[in-house]
Amino acid sequence: MENSSKRISILLAGAMAMLLAGCTSSKNVAWTSPGFKGHSIGKTVVLATFEDEYLSREFEAVFAQRLRDYVPAVSLRADVENTDKLDRKGVEKLLKQNQVKTLVVTHLVNSSQHTQLVPYGVSYQTYATATDDCYTYCSSYQLDENVESFSENTIETSLFDVATGKLIWSGLFGVYDFNSKNSNMEKVVNNTVWDLEQQGMLKANMVY
């Protein structure tokens, strides 16, 4: 049985493709539907579609927690016990039954591996040079380097209006070594929240 994250990601691929077709490979870019600027995103459900199930669950939790500073928000995996049994109709029905206004979907667009030399210390050597009866002590040093690998990732986050199914906001953000560390997740989350604030779609003092 296919897991829900893969199925839902395929179902939403058409809408996501519209953004990618209109964007370059530049990092940290965002698009907003003009008709939704200045309007609250309202009650929101967060869905991550990474291959790593644990990472998806953890990312949803971090994202939902951050959004709760502004609007009611929950993680799909935290709210539903058997997400692997959900298809598109099941998700739509669940969201509408719970009066959810928007759905946030985050996925990995691409990832590339790189290596680089990283300095980690300095080696010192002392030696003596003799001139007649005089000795001069000198020292030299060299930079020690180590080869380290890291991954460069582009993460896409898209916001859909549940009532119409329309894409209302989407952003591409670049991060290094994207994994289960909260600091990396928060880069994507904070960039998303910051842009939504700029578009008037999130307001810190919102009254529900």
Instruction: Give the chain's length.
Output: 208
Identify whether 136 is part of a domain. Answer: no
Q: What percentage of the chain exceeds 90 in pLDDT? A: 38
Average pLDDT, the chain: 76
pLDDT digits (tens, 9 = 90+) for 61-107: 999 999 999 999 999 988 776 666 666 777 788 888 889 999 999 99
pLDDT digits (tens, 9 = 90+) for 27-56: 689 999 999 999 999 999 999 988 888 888
Count structural domains, the chain. Answer: 1
Higher pLDDT, 132 or 63: 63
Sheet containing strand 134-161, edge to edge, reads: 29-32, 167-176, 134-161, 102-131, 44-48, 73-75
List the CATH number of the domain containing 180: 3.40.50.10610
Identify whether 207 is part of a domain. Answer: no
Identify whether 132 is part of a domain. Answer: no
Identify whether 135 is part of a domain. Answer: no
pLDDT score, position 175: 85
Identify whether 208 is part of a domain. Answer: no
Identify whether 133 is part of a domain. Answer: no
Identify whether 129 is part of a domain. Answer: no
Q: Answer yes or no: is pLDDT of 24 > 50.
A: no
Q: Answer yes or no: is pLDDT of 157 > 80.
A: yes
pLDDT score, position 28: 82
Q: What is the mean pLDDT of residues 159-176?
A: 92
pLDDT digits (tens, 9 = 90+) for 173-197: 988 866 545 667 888 999 999 999 9
Q: Give, to the nearest 10 degrees, the angle between helix 4-11 and helix 13-21.
A: 50
Identify whether 162 is part of a domain. Answer: yes
Domain span holding position 28: 4-114+148-198
* CB contact burial 113-126 (16+ within 10 A = b; e otherwise): eeeeeeeeeeeeee
